[in-house]
């Protein structure tokens, strides 16, 4: 069974991975791409625009891009770590509410933090983020930020797909067809909560009809469970 829920408020998340004492695939974890003492779990130093691949493999997941939608990471294509703000011309999204590049809407700043994940480019097939699991999971959740409308009939939209053991789609969630700025510079929370551990990979596919550049902003990924608490407003 899959469910979706739109986040209307943000909460503070202070570390890149919140885990129980051992970093096994069964540990409860939240990956928000915030480094601890400047580093990720594999010891690599967090740098803006760096490729994200196996830095979180100790938690049982790796990241890639699935341009041809075969369920396997494409060689030489990787999602990128994106720093919040306009430190360079490369961006995940432009925020009218935050009044700048990669800036959260007021009240969501702590939820977004200092880093998130973006695609290697703004081409639609370059934002097909693929998360591969070492061992299957039954549940997961995360956020896609800044899903924008362009007009009453033109809008950004995403399909989040759960892939089974043969890498075919076994479940999916479609983001709302927004016609307002409710998700502008704000998070949309999706989650899977299935009866058995049959999710071997998760893929994000852009299905909007904007016919132009697409910005991916992915954050606050809980790879093994639905994030436990309802977000509360930050002050």
Domain boundaries, the chain: 2-15+24-46+54-78+123-211
Q: Who contacts 121 (Cβ-Cβ below 8 Å, separation ≥6)?
A: none
Average pLDDT over residues 86-93: 80
| pLDDT band of 229, cuts 50, 70, 90 | low
| pLDDT band of 4, cuts 50, 70, 90 | very low
Average pLDDT over residues 177-196: 92
| pLDDT band of 88, cuts 50, 70, 90 | confident
How far is the C-alpha of 112 from the C-alpha of 122, rounded, in Å?
Answer: 20
How far is the C-alpha of 148 from the C-alpha of 133, rounded, in Å?
Answer: 30
Q: Quick one: pLDDT at residue 209?
A: 86
User: What pTM value is reported for the model?
Assistant: 0.86
Q: Quick one: pLDDT at residue 145?
A: 96
For the stretch 21-36, pLDDT in tens is 333 334 458 999 999 9
pLDDT at 63 > cutoff 80: yes
Average pLDDT over residues 193-208: 97
CATH no., domain 2-15+24-46+54-78+123-211:
2.60.120
Q: Quick one: pLDDT at residue 132?
A: 99
Q: Is 155 helix (H, G, I), strand (E, B) or coil?
A: strand
Q: Who contacts 81 (Cβ-Cβ below 8 Å, separation ≥6)?
A: 33, 46, 47, 48, 49, 50, 51, 52, 115, 116, 117, 118
Q: Quick one: pLDDT at residue 180?
A: 83
For the stretch 129-159, pLDDT in tens is 999 999 999 999 999 999 988 777 888 999 9
């Amino acid at each position: 069974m899959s469910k979706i829920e739109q986040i209307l408020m943000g909460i503070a998340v202070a570390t890149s991975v919140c885990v129980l004492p051992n970093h096994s695939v069964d540990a409860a974890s939240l990956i928000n791409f915030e480094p601890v003492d400047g580093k990720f779990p594999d010891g690599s130093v967090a740098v803006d625009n760096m490729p994200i691949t196996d830095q979180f493999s100790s938690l049982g997941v790796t990241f890639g891009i699935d341009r041809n939608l075969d369920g396997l990471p494409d060689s030489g294509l990787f999602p990128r770590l994106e720093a919040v703000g306009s430190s360079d011309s490369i961006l995940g999204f432009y925020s009218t509410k935050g009044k700048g590049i990669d800036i959260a809407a007021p009240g969501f700043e702590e939820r977004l933090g200092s880093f998130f994940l973006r695609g290697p480019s703004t081409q639609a097939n370059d934002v097909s983020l693929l998360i591969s699991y070492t061992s299957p999971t039954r549940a997961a959740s995360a956020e896609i930020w800044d899903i924008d409308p362009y007009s009453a009939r033109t809008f950004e939209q995403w399909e989040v797909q759960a892939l089974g053991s043969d890498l075919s789609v076994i479940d999916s969630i479609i983001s709302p067809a927004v016609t307002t700025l409710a998700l502008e510079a704000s998070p949309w929370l999706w989650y899977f909560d299935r009866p058995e551990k049959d999710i071997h990979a998760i893929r994000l596919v852009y299905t909007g009809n904007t016919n132009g550049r697409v910005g991916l902003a992915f954050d606050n990924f809980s790879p093994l469970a639905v994030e436990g608490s309802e977000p509360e407003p930050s002050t």
